[in-house]
Structure 1
């Protein structure tokens, strides 16, 4: 995979099929679907309630670290990748959500791999946390080079912490 380098961390990141760019107002319908779709949110604590969605909508547009994943071919918003400082020892954390109709096409793997590669240009390591029961997410994280580091209980479910060092 070829990742187009950037001079500025907020700049769009392009791969062969995708663009990861700051979230725009026009992206909010797709992002709202990510937050409210029961299938997307199965391993993320369930659908987000309407009052929280409204708060998130006001905060996410142009927010640093939040990237709409857009298919280059038709500009469709496929998902969301977030790269931000996290509570795990202050490390940079990557997280992601994709609309179900785009699962199984390799888009999430391509986008997450690009985001992790970009982050590792400036930080020593990247972590990701997923539920132990989320086998698809675990396979994706392993496919992009993150390694299982520890398991723990949080939010009423077994979680798995993955890490990749630069």
Structure 2
């Protein structure tokens, strides 16, 4: 008789002044799919995701632990996605994010990522985030929420920067 682990309970919603970060629901899939296919969103993330991978992701993301739809509290519009997961980098927790271009420049990403980092640091000794060196907006956001440049390296044929914040 094999032991099947119990499913991971969904993360409790994280509420900020203007946003709610909650598990992805089936109604969020079209907006999340746009994140994976929009050339502007994916410019520093290796380009748009191919169709076969999108179909797999669409089946797996609803209710998946670590994935948080970022919705505007006032109207429930999906603005983006924040992911919080074990990074494999010495047990650190990694935060990543993508937001739809029509919501850029309004502070939503900073608010959501800052809240996700703060929550992650309640349980983890440190949080990391990686972005391309050329992604200046993302680098400013990470610095604004208290992460500091920790190292630079080349991966996926691009210069990357790892940021870290410890408790």
Q: What TM bracket, shorter-length normalisation?
A: over 0.9
Q: Which residue matches 2:162?
A: 161
Offset from partner CA, 1:19-46 (integer Å, 9 cap, x none): 0000000000000000000000000000
Please name the residue that 2:147 is paired with: 146
Mapped partners of 2:93, 2:141: distance in 1: 18
Normalised by the length of structure 2, the TM-score is 0.94
Distance in 1 between the 2:123 and 2:10 partners?
9
CA distance in 2, matches of 1:160, 1:33: 25
Which position in structure 2 is the counterpart of 1:23?
A: 24
Matched residue, 1:5 = none
Residues 10 and 63 in structure 2, CA contact (< 8 A), matched pair in contact too: no
Larger Rg: 2
Inter-partner Cα distance in structure 1 for 2:62 and 2:107: 26
Q: How many residues align?
A: 159
Q: Which residue of 1 aligns with 2:71?
A: 70
1:88 corresponding residue in structure 2: 89
SS in 2 for 1:120: helix
**Structure 1 gap ranges (5+):** 1-7
Q: CA offset at residue 14 of structure 1?
A: 0.1
Aligned to 1:36: 37
Residue 89 of structure 1: CA displacement? 2.0
Displacement over 2 Å in runs of 4+: none
Q: Describe the SS at the equivalent of 1:31.
A: helix
| 2:22 alignment partner, SS class | strand
Gap runs ≥5 in structure 2: 1-8
Residues 1:9 and 1:141: Cα distance change in structure 2 (over 3 Å): farther
Residue by residue over 1:62-93, the C-alpha shift from the partner in whole angstroms, topping out at 9 and shown as x without a partner, is: 00000000000110000000000012222100
